[in-house]
């Protein structure tokens, strides 16, 4: 069978800074809807204050990961970004650029390949609630 590309969107309303949203099931639903058996799925965040990665989705790490990001981009320091926009989210941009807006995962036999304790997550790094439309690109047969 020849490979095809299909696009889907995952729409989210976030609660603002450090809300970490488990999108695993939504990605799996898109794969099923696409009818794809084998290939790759890419999840992409259009926007510069959100990121996508994987994590074991349990309450402790939902505190520990933001705490680590605070060490990289503390809340209480000056950001030159403030000169341009005065919107208080310089730290959000910095964290998003370091984690990155793109994640690619294999699809095998119609299933997302993940570890037992591994979930796909969107990280809202902006300082206020946001509406987000993630792009799910499925490339496979």
At 40, give phi and psi (nearest 5°): -130, 145
Q: Which is nearer to its own copies, 15 or 72 (CB)?
A: 72
Backbone phi and psi for residue 12, each to the nearest 5 degrees, phi listed first:
-130, 145
CB of 15 to its own copies, least distance (A): 18
* Structure-token pair, residue 141: 């047969």
Closest to 91 measured CA to CA, from 101, 79, 100, 103: 79
Using the minimum distance from each CB to its own copies, give the nearer residue, 32 or 58. Answer: 58
Q: In whole angstroms, how close is the CB of 130 to its own copies at the nearest point? A: 11
Q: What is the dihedral of CA 126, 57, 113, 48, to 10 degrees?
A: 10
**Closer residue to its own copies, CB minimum distance, 11 or 84:** 84
Least distance to its own copies, CB of residue 8, Å? 11
Residues lying near its own copies in the complex (CB under 8 A) are found at 2-5, 7, 38-40, 42, 44-48, 53-56, 58-65, 68-69, 71-73, 79-85, 90, 93-94, 96-106, 108, 113-115, 117-118, 121, 135, 137, 139-141
Q: How far apart are CA 71 and CA 121, in angstroms?
A: 20
| CB of 23 or CB of 103, closer to its own copies | 103
Give the integer Cα–Cα distance in Å for 12 and 134.
8
**CB of residue 95 vs its own copies: minimum separation in angstroms?**
8
């Amino acid at each position: 069978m020849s490979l095809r590309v299909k696009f889907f969107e995952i729409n989210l309303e976030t609660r603002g800074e450090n809300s970490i949203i488990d999108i695993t099931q939504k990605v799996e639903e898109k794969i099923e809807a696409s009818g794809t058996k084998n290939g790759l799925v890419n999840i992409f965040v259009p926007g510069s204050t959100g990121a996508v990665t994987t994590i074991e989705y349990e309450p402790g790490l939902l505190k520990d990961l933001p705490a680590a990001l605070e060490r990289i981009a503390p809340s209480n320091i000056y950001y030159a970004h403030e000169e341009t926009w005065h919107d208080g989210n310089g730290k959000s941009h910095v964290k998003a650029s370091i984690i990155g807006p793109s994640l690619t995962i294999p699809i095998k036999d119609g299933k997302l390949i993940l570890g037992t304790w591994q979930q796909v997550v969107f990280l809202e790094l902006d300082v206020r609630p946001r509406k987000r439309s993630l792009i799910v690109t499925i490339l496979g047969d």
